[in-house]
Amino acid sequence: MTAGGLILMVVSWATITALVVFCFGRIFRQKDGETEK
Amino acid sequence: MIIKQVMPAIRDTWGSRLAIIMAVAGSAIGLGNFLRFPVKAVANGGGAFMIPYFVSFLLLGLPLMWIEWTMGRYGGGFEHGTAPGIFHSLLRKNRFVKYFGVIGIFGPLVIFIYYTYIESWTLAYSVFALMGKYAGLADQASMQAFLRGFQGLEHNAHFSSMGWAYVFFLVTFFLNISVIYHGIRGGIERLCKVALPLLFACAIILLVRVLMLGTPSENFPERNIINGLGFMWNPDFSALKSAKVWLEAAGQIFFTLSVGIGVILTYASYLSRTDDVVLSGLTAAGTNELAEVILGGSIIIPAAFVFFGQGEMQAVASSGTFNLGFVTMPLVLNQLPWAGFFGFVWFLLLFLAGVTSSVSLAQPSIAFLEDEFDIDRKKAIVIFGSVAFLLCQPAVFLLGRGVLDELDFWGGTFFLVVFATIEVILFAWVFGMDKAWDEIHHGADLTLPKFYKWIIKYVTPLFLFFILGAWLWQEWGGIILMKKVTPECRPYIIATRLGLLAIFIVLCALVKIAWRRKRLHAEAKP
């Protein structure tokens, strides 16, 4: 595996993981907030 | 004329926000995530493919996702769950706009009638894996013969008829119908809550197993998992100069997100007016990408590389998605300890991906009967089930005559792009971008960057026109004139086209009847 391949794989995986964590993080934070109310 | 007084039934709703996100993600995550994406990436520049892929995701996939969620929620507010009614709600003065919406019922119905059959193969193979029915097969030719025998394309030592294929088709078809029978909350939502986590669990089990393959053969030290991942991800930046690669990336984003079908419109119509669509749409799209890029891109290609090596991989990757899933992958898994178990997990993964998509494909037709004809759900399902069952038969029995490919081209490819183009024009240009922007942000938990207003209005429609134009330029003539179809298959292809035209005309007539019925009903009211 070349360095370019490794970088593209890691960046793609990291971008998508960050997107999913951000989205579900926002949803669950709001859900907790609603429960507290 | 006596007009029957009908009380509109209370529309079903989603139990929670997570439920619709999982249902939309389940609809989007299909066989293509695990079979089509890795093949496209390998054939179009490896890691470099991710550049046009992500650009398409941002400029085409996400805008269409938000448009469909917003249009669906808007139409649901007028008790319309399918495109004819939703389009009519957006542009009440125009009598004809609802007929453009017929594509939003036609497309999913056509996909459903062949997709259910393919889905049944995955169920059958998961059982065959546990039974060890293909355990002794060690080369591509014998695994191909097994598949062709199962499909009834030839009689051989493995299968003497397509009896097993039909039995599994019946099981899959009635499983789909029974899920839909229980409604949005009791059926689709419950299925997705179980199936989606299970699907991710299956994919993670396979991913871990593939990553642990190391170097299985000492005779071929270059055939190791790192090189396998390299085969998938090593970039060929020269591919970015090719328009074809950009087109392939845009096409992959388009198909993987289930936009342009009409399913998201229907699912979003069960939201309430104050429910968020921006964050929910983004989450569903992100979940699909997780399944596609991280899981789908790391299982089949690296695993096949380790066992077949670079030389054979080019042939394997270009042999088509079905061969990759039903021939190559079982051969790879056959070489591992616990082959039956891992084969079962692989086909269960594909089955779960398939069933969460197929139930979503049935929903627009059912919602149309419920919302526009005030038919109760159970009757609507009996009508849909009977019609769909009959329509499935040509796809099942005429597989070798190219019927399935023809249905896939019209229902699953061409009309998707046409429908998405109509949606974006209607939403951004006819409904009006300012109103559309306000509608997107009604109840939103995230504010979109302002430049997305510009992207939705100009870039997304141009992108779609580009895809449509390129397809028409490259493929239209050949497909219409059936240049790749053998002379003995031509009558079947012509009959399929006439059948599709008949379905489309019947749906247009139903829309006309439904609206006339509503008008008469409104006039009869004191």
Give the C-alpha separation, B214 to B149, whole Å: 34
Rounded average pLDDT over B215-232: 87
Rounded average pLDDT over B64-82: 95
Of the segments B402-416, B434-448, B466-480, which one has the largest average pLDDT value? B434-448
Asked if residue B265 is part of any domain, the answer here is: no
pLDDT at A33 over 70: no
Q: Which helix (H) or strand (E) holds B72?
A: helix B62-76
**Residue B407 identity:** L
B379 by DSSP, 3-state: which? helix
Alpha carbons within 13 A on the beta-carbon side of B42: 29
Asked if B371 and B81 count as a contact pair (C-beta separation under 8 A), the reply is yes
The size of chain A, in residues, is 37
Cβ under 8 Å to B: A residues 2-31: 2, 4-9, 12-13, 15-17, 19-20, 23-24, 26-27, 30-31
Number of domains in chain A: 1
pLDDT at A35 over 60: no
Question: Which chain A residue has its CA at the smallest distance from B25's CA?
Answer: A20
What pLDDT does residue A32 have?
63
Q: Cα distance from A17 to chain B (closest Cα, Å)?
A: 7
Query: For residue B335, what are the domain limits?
Result: 17-213+221-234+271-524
**Residue B425 identity:** I
Contact B233 A5 (CB under 8 A): yes
Asked if B27 and B69 count as a contact pair (C-beta separation under 8 A), the reply is no
What pLDDT does residue B127 have?
97
Query: For residue A7, what are the domain limits?
Result: 1-37
Give the C-alpha separation, B208 to B197, whole Å: 16
Kindly report the average pLDDT of chain B as a whole number. 90
Residue B485 CA, distance from chain mean position: 25
Res. A31 pLDDT band, cuts 50 70 90: low
What pLDDT does residue A34 have?
58
Give the C-alpha separation, B509 to B503, whole Å: 10
Contact A5 B54 (CB under 8 A): no
User: Which residue out of A2, A9, A29 would a mutagenesis test of the B interface target, given it has the greatest number of B Cβ atoms within 10 Å?
Assistant: A9
Calculate what percentage of chain B has a pLDDT beyond 90: 63
Asked if B176 and B362 count as a contact pair (C-beta separation under 8 A), the reply is yes
Asked if residue B370 is part of any domain, the answer here is: yes
Give the C-alpha separation, B336 to B39, whole Å: 23
Asked if residue B244 is part of any domain, the answer here is: no
What pLDDT does residue B311 have?
76
Question: Which chain A residue has its CA at the smallest distance from B16's CA?
Answer: A31
- CB-based contact, B222 to chain A, within 8 Å: no
Asked if residue B485 is part of any domain, the answer here is: yes
CB nearest to B279's CB, from A6, A7, A27: A27
Kindly report the average pLDDT of chain A as a whole number. 84
Q: Cα distance from A33 to chain B (closest Cα, Å)?
A: 13
Report the predicted TM-score, pTM, of the whole model to 2 decimal places: 0.92
- Eight-state DSSP code of residue B136: T
Asked if residue B515 is part of any domain, the answer here is: yes
Number of domains in chain B: 1
Rounded average pLDDT over A8-22: 94
Asked if B65 and B264 count as a contact pair (C-beta separation under 8 A), the reply is yes
Which residue, B225, B291, B280, is CA-closest to B68? B280
Alpha carbons within 13 A on the beta-carbon side of B246: 13
B108 by DSSP, 3-state: which? helix
Give the C-alpha separation, B391 to B389, whole Å: 5
Contact A1 B233 (CB under 8 A): yes
pLDDT tens per residue across span B102-160: 999 999 999 999 999 999 999 999 999 999 999 989 888 899 999 999 999 999 989 99
Asked if residue B6 is part of any domain, the answer here is: no
| C-beta atoms surrounding B291 within 10 Å | 27
Calculate what percentage of chain B has a pLDDT beyond 70: 98
Asked if residue B475 is part of any domain, the answer here is: yes
Give the C-alpha separation, B199 to B192, whole Å: 10
pLDDT at B5 over 50: no
What pLDDT does residue B13 have?
87
Q: B460, exposed or middle or buried, with CB in 10 Å at 0-12, 13-18, 19+? A: buried
What pLDDT does residue B235 have?
87
What pLDDT does residue B8 have?
52
The size of chain B, in residues, is 526
Higher-confidence position of B400 and B142: B142
Contact A5 B286 (CB under 8 A): no
Contact B289 A19 (CB under 8 A): yes
Q: Cα distance from A29 to chain B (closest Cα, Å)?
A: 11
Q: Cα distance from B442 to chain A (closest Cα, Å)?
A: 17
Considering only B308-312, B333-337, B358-362, B400-404, which range has the smallest mean pLDDT? Answer: B308-312
Give the C-alpha separation, B157 to B137, whole Å: 12
Asked if B229 and A1 count as a contact pair (C-beta separation under 8 A), the reply is yes
Q: Kindly give, in sequence order, each residue whose CB lies less than 8 Å from that of residue B237, ignoring residues fewer than 6 positions away.
A: B45, B48
- Reported ipTM: the value is 0.90
Asked if B49 and B232 count as a contact pair (C-beta separation under 8 A), the reply is no
CATH number at residue B67: 1.20.1740
